[in-house]
């Protein structure tokens, strides 16, 4: 018990439920993610994976249950307050700032958790530390040569990568990735998996993904979501061999 912080889950869901009218999009979902964990949530289309992310990040209010970030109950908190605890996410549908340049996108992401975001009497360009950090992030992602390109002119694959760079810009302790490989070619997916595996091992990742190669490559712990319910959790091997999971994916469930 010497190191207390490592015992507190970075993210914990307790009996989380969400109803849209009569539709039960999330039913009694509970799990914990510890620091450095790499967990994936898979499931057929419409299983409620993105809804789950929207609940965790505070875009939707929950119907019942609790969300804890770093041991704190954040169920009633607004999105930006949750981000400030050390959480970041990416979006399934690319959500960048299309008319801004690559570097401006990254600068916005870095400023998000800094008090200087309210400064209005100094040029952004005069903040050297923010600029240096943006350069470092873009260098790591091999984007530096395209830093002055408007984001709408990037290819889809480049935009997917930049999504993750924006997610990393606030130095999160947990990163929620919503289908990072969506729309990528198989070569690009492999590259994405490599990129994710190279990230700081202390960073916890919660991943939603359809591309099973990426899931099996990155995550040691997989949960299967079906009609808003977690029905199976385990190692990649267990999930691959699970009778119930196969039934769901083959449509007999």
Partner 1 sequence: MSTQNLKIAIVIVCLLALLVLVPMGNSFVVLLATRAMAFAILAMSLDILLGFTGLASLGQAAYFGVGAYLTAYLANYYGFGLKWDFWLMIPIGMAVGGALAALFGLFAIRATGTYFLMITLALGQCVWGLAYRWNSVTGGDNGITLKGGRPQFGIDLTNDINFFYLTFAFFAATLFALYVLIRSPFGKSLLGIRERELRMRILGYNVWLHKYIAFIIAGAFGGLSGVIWAHANGIVTPETVVLTTSVDALLMTVLGGAGTLVGGAIGSAIVFGLREYVSTLVPWWQYVLGGVYVLTILYLPSGLMGIPERVRQWRNSQKKRETTKMTTAPSSH
Closer to partner 1 by Cβ: residue 59 or 220: 59
Strand 11-20's sheet: what is its strand order? 23-33, 11-20, 64-69, 72-73
Closer to partner 1 by Cβ: residue 119 or 142: 119
CB of residue 174 to partner 1, shortest distance in Å: 13
Q: Quick one: CA torsion of 9, 13, 14, 17, rounded to 10 degrees?
A: 180
CB of residue 82 to partner 1, shortest distance in Å: 9
CB of residue 83 to partner 1, shortest distance in Å: 4
DSSP labels for 93-155? S----TTSBHHHHHHHHHHTTSGGGG--SS-GGG-HHHHHHHHHHHHHTT-GGGTTSBGGGS-
Closer to partner 1 by Cβ: residue 15 or 114: 114
CB of residue 228 to partner 1, shortest distance in Å: 22
Question: How far is residue 12's CA from residue 67's CA, in Å, rounded to a whole number?
Answer: 6
Closer to partner 1 by Cβ: residue 54 or 189: 54
- Distance from first CA to last CA of the chain, Å, rounded? 44
**Secondary structure letter of residue 6 according to DSSP:** G
Give the pair of three-digit tokens for residue 98. Answer: 């299309």
Question: Which residues of this chain interact with partner 1, rule CB under 8 A?
Answer: 57, 59, 78-80, 83-84, 88-89, 91, 95-100, 104, 107-109, 111-114, 116-125, 127, 166, 169-170
Closer to partner 1 by Cβ: residue 95 or 197: 95
CB of residue 99 to partner 1, shortest distance in Å: 6
Sign of the CA dihedral running 63, 221, 87, 140: negative
Question: How far is residue 165's CA from residue 105's CA, in Å, rounded to a whole number?
Answer: 10
CB of residue 20 to partner 1, shortest distance in Å: 18
Closer to partner 1 by Cβ: residue 163 or 232: 163
Token pair 């960048």 is at which residue?
96
């Amino acid at each position: 018990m010497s190191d207390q912080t490592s015992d507190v889950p970075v993210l914990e869901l307790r009996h989380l439920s969400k109803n849209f009218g009569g539709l039960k999009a999330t039913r009694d979902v509970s799990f914990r993610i510890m620091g450095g964990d790499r967990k994936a949530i898979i499931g057929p289309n419409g299983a409620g994976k993105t809804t789950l992310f929207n609940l965790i990040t505070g875009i939707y209010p929950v119907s019942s249950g609790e969300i804890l970030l770093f041991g704190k109950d954040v169920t009633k908190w607004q999105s930006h307050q949750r981000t400030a605890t050390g959480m970041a996410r990416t979006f399934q549908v690319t959500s960048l700032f299309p008319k801004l340049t690559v570097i401006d996108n990254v600068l916005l992401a870095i400023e998000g958790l800094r008090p200087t975001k309210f400064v209005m009497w100094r040029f952004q360009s005069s903040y050297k530390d923010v600029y240096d950090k943006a350069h470092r992030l873009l260098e790591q992602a091999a984007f530096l040569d395209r830093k002055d390109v408007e984001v709408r002119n990037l290819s889809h694959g480049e935009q997917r990568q930049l999504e993750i760079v924006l997610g990393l810009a606030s130095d999160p302790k947990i990163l929620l990735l919503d289908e990072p490989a969506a729309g990528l070619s198989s070569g690009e997916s492999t590259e994405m998996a490599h990129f994710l595996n190279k990230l700081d091992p202390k960073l916890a990742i919660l991943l939603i993904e359809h591309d099973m190669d990426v899931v099996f490559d990155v995550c040691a712990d997989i949960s299967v979501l079906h009609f808003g319910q977690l029905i199976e959790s385990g190692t990649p091997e267990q999930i691959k061999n699970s009778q119930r999971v196969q039934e769901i994916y083959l449509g007999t469930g």
